[in-house]
Amino acid sequence: TKRPATLIPGDGIGPEIVKSAVDILEALGSPFEWDIQQGGLAAIEESRDPLPQATLDSIRRTRLALKGPLTTPVGGGFRSINVRLREEFGLYANLRPVRSMVPGGRFDEIDIVLVRENLGGLYVAFEHYIPIGEDPHAVAISTGVNTREGSRKIIEFAFDYALKNGRKKVTVVHKANVLKALTGIFLEVGHEVAKKYEGRVKMDDRIVDATAMQLVMNPWQFDVIVTTNLFGDILSDQLAGLVGGLGMAPGANIGPDAAIFEAVHGSAPDIAGKGIANPLALLLAVGLMLEHIDQPDLANRLRTAIDQVLREDGVRTPDLGGKASTGDFTQSIIRRLGG
């Protein structure tokens, strides 16, 4: 029996890469029964809201969504759709694995999973200005919030992920030498949690700036990284850069009430409708989604087919230096799946 899941085609290249993912899933023997819902610009045209109630209701029911990129309109006072989704469903964990997939990239044989705290830190954005004299914005103040409970949840998530996926080490990334309270609490909880996993998963800790340097000098030393919201945002893009850019980066937003899977890149309006969008990041997100519902075999078959097409068949979309259209790439994967 199939499991209901919400499908949001999204904007720009969204519908093109979502179609690719759905077709490939069919060839794989999709465990999902899609409930198609709107989001982004597509939704504004219908309901004046980039995140309509029907879409939220669907995710609340299915607890599982695959989402194409959404265009957040500039101006008009719309809040980021992604932030709204995180808050609505308490999606406290942002999982961003990166892996070298195309030979000749900047770094070979990288395989790192970044786990980012998704709700707190400086991104709660409790901000205000203090006026001085004529200048209403003379001073800007922002307050970050990390709780012991929130830190424990995300760090335990990282250790559990490591355990479940045969990973050896979790690196807790912080800036406890300067932000002694805000990120000190995170480091402190990191050491507490690590004790529970002693003998099963190793733990070390590192200051964020040193991590940024080490990721470029010797990225192979990292396995799983867990960090606070702002650091995670920055380091996860850096990680994507190590393996060829956002076109290869999947993301999962996971909470107790739902999990939403997506490509990390945006709606790429510059190439929308041209049939050349790379569906890889979304396909890798599908892999995470399959793992999330305990279908690791399907996830592995998908990843093997992707590797074969990239490495052996040499079929790649233009952003990876190839000539394949989205459709060519999709068909190559389906062929490798025996379809």
Residue 246 found at the interface with ligand NAI (CB under 6 A): yes
Nearer to Mg ion, 17 or 239 (CB): 239
**Residue 38, CB-side half-sphere exposure with 13 Å CA sphere:** 14
Binding mask 297-336 for ligand NAI (x = CB under 6 A): ----------------------x-----------------
For 52, the 3-state DSSP assignment is coil
Which of 117, 223, 233, 319 forms a contact with Mg ion (CB under 5 A)?
Answer: 233
- Least CB distance from residue 236 to ligand NAI, whole Å? 12
Separation between Cα atoms, residue 319 and residue 249, nearest integer Å: 13
Catalytic annotation present for 233? yes
Work out what residue 158 binds among ligand NAI, Mg ion, none; the CB cut-off runs from 5 to 8 Å by kind. none
Nearer to ligand NAI, 39 or 219 (CB): 39
Which of 167, 174, 175, 265 forms a contact with ligand NAI (CB under 6 A)?
Answer: 265
For 255-290, b/e burial (b = at least 16 CB within 10 A) is beebbbbbbbbbbbeebbeeebbbbbbbbbbbbbbb
- Least CB distance from residue 246 to ligand NAI, whole Å? 6
Nearer to ligand NAI, 69 or 190 (CB): 69
Near ligand NAI in 96-125, by CB under 6 A:
none
Residue 270 found at the interface with ligand NAI (CB under 6 A): yes
User: Which range binds ligand NAI by CB under 6 A, 63-71, 114-122, 177-185, 194-202?
Assistant: 63-71
Catalytic annotation present for 313? no
DSSP string, 131-168: EETTEEEEEEEEEEE--HHHHHHHHHHHHHHHHHTT--
DSSP string, 214-248: HHHH-GGG-SEEEE-HHHHHHHHHHHHHHTT-GGG
Separation between Cα atoms, residue 282 and residue 303, nearest integer Å: 12
Nearer to ligand NAI, 225 or 285 (CB): 285
The answer for residues whose C-beta is within 8 angstroms of residue 93's C-beta and 6 or more apart is 115, 116, 117, 118, 153, 154, 157, 252, 253, 254, 255
For 117, the 3-state DSSP assignment is strand
Nearer to ligand NAI, 117 or 262 (CB): 262
Residue type, 228: T
User: Which range binds ligand NAI by CB under 6 A, 20-28, 124-132, 208-216, 266-274?
Assistant: 266-274
For the chain, count helices (H), then strands (E): 11, 12
List residues binding Mg ion (CB under 5 A): 233
List residues binding ligand NAI (CB under 6 A): 13, 69-72, 82, 246-247, 262, 265-271, 277-278, 281, 319
What residues act catalytically? 123, 175, 209, 233, 237
